[in-house]
Amino acid sequence: MLAFTGGNSPSMVDSRLHIYNNIVMDKSTNQNLDKVFSALSDSTRRAILMKLTNGDVGVMDLAAPFDMSQPAISRHIKVLETAGLVTRHRQGTHRMCRLAPDALGEIEPWLSMIADRYRNKYDRLDVVLEAMTPTIQGDE
């Protein structure tokens, strides 16, 4: 028989405090994550980022596949730039864009932490299911 307690173990409380201190308390990290997630929430901006994975691309070339004006694309690029995902520079008379070197630097650890928490929950579920298996098989 499995017994479940309603209390939190000290290690779970410590883990939650660690997460709170490292994620919630760091306002600048939170603000940066908000900017990145906001920038990634638009399919046009995600498509721009995908195009930039092949290297530097001119603003006019970025606008070509989309049914929108160059100023509209420039606004999307500005959002990506503000989020730290893209940088702009001049190459002769052309305005070029490139992925920022550490574009996903802050988002990767955050997503990793979330993925680890889900994995831990699935691992605990596996333990519970394994403990229940003899009981279920014994009932048949």
In whole angstroms, give the CA distance from residue 80 to residue 100. Answer: 10
The class that CATH gives domain 23-102 is mainly alpha
pLDDT by residue, tens only, the chain of 140 residues: 444 444 555 565 566 656 655 655 466 667 788 899 999 999 999 999 999 999 999 998 998 998 888 899 999 999 999 999 999 999 899 899 999 978 777 788 878 888 887 777 776 777 777 777 765 555 55
- pTM exceeding 0.85: no
Please, are residues 98 and 56 in contact by the beta-carbon 8 Å criterion?
Answer: yes
Q: Which amino acid is at 119?
A: R
